[in-house]
Amino acid sequence: MTKHPKEADRLKKIVESFPNVTVTVLGDLVADEFIFGEISRVSREAPVLILKHRERTVVPGGGANAANNLADLGVNVLPVGIVGDDEPGKMLLKYFRHKKIAVSGVLKDTSYTTVTKTRILAGMTHTARQQVVRVDREPAEAPNQHLTRELYLAARNYAHASDALLVSDYGYGAATPAIVNALEEKGKLSVPIVLDSRYRMLQYAGVTAATPNEPEIEQALGVSIGQDWGKLVAAGEQVMQRMKLQSLVITRGRDGMVAFDCKHKPVDIPIVGSDQVADVTGAGDTVIAAFTAAIAAGATTEEAAQLANYAGGIVVMKRGTATVSQDELLHTLEQSPPATRPH
């Protein structure tokens, strides 16, 4: 493993410039709900635990989590998405307003159900909380033609006033290949477009960069990579070519990430900190937020990937859907210089 202490100064300057950057987030806005119950006893009705309710929190998830991470990194963020006229939607808007995140690009629709992921956590008073079940509430159907048009117009208007566009596609219809392709037509957008798409990455031909995890790459290409560096590089290069990307970052969990650039060889970046993670919930949102912020600030692919790797390493040590602050990122840079693995 090769360490690069001098590069840390360049990365610090990039992070310090985040308040001068504006990023539009077009995404599926999700409410992440966490309900914690203390284990009371086993039910007589069925072999299940009875939990005594202790607390409930609702925080931004999905594209809303990417926007929240950008805000905590000091970036000026403009979210574009949809929420319903329901409690989770109102709580998301209240959360954004409290963080001074603009909400004029968030559509409110009475016929829409805010995507809500409820995680039930169980534990004793002084023990770690363990997720026992998750319940998802989703819209019955994708946004209608009118809402899709409004999303396109809001994304177009905000992106023209931004330094980058982050697309967070969880498959609920607020961020789609059709909307992004319309934004790209005839060179309408001059800013980089960074994509995180759970199920249909290859349909977004023409975006600037993408940040999939390794299982998403395997699923998209129908391949198995495992620990084979040659297969990983071949898969990354195939995605780069098919999507006409300038940059690609493949996240690999405890194995770190690999950064591909159209002009340079792939760079293997080891994980920062411990590989004994606490919680991976929302880590991909943190990675794309840090990567996009860095690209918007003028970073190279490798520099942006290094910062995304730091941010990912910090956030997986936190429980629940969490964010990384600008100060945390700067502090970690001081503690550990960026590193790469030779091949």
The catalytic residue positions are: 285
Say how far apart CA 165 and CA 310 lie, in whole Å: 21
Say how far apart CA 131 and CA 35 lie, in whole Å: 10
Residues 6+ apart with CB under 8 A from 152: 179, 182, 183
First vs last Cα of the chain: how many Å apart? 10
- Of 189, 207, 206, 195, the closest CA to residue 166 belongs to 195
Say how far apart CA 339 and CA 337 lie, in whole Å: 6
The DSSP letter of residue 213 is: B
Say how far apart CA 160 and CA 158 lie, in whole Å: 5
- Please state the φ and ψ torsions of residue 129, each to the nearest 5 degrees: -85, 130
State the DSSP string of 170-205. Answer: -SSSSS-HHHHHHHHGGG---S-EEEEESS-GGG-T
User: How many other CB atoms are found less than 10 A from the CB of residue 52?
Assistant: 11
How many residues does the structure list for the chain?
A: 343
The DSSP letter of residue 277 is: -
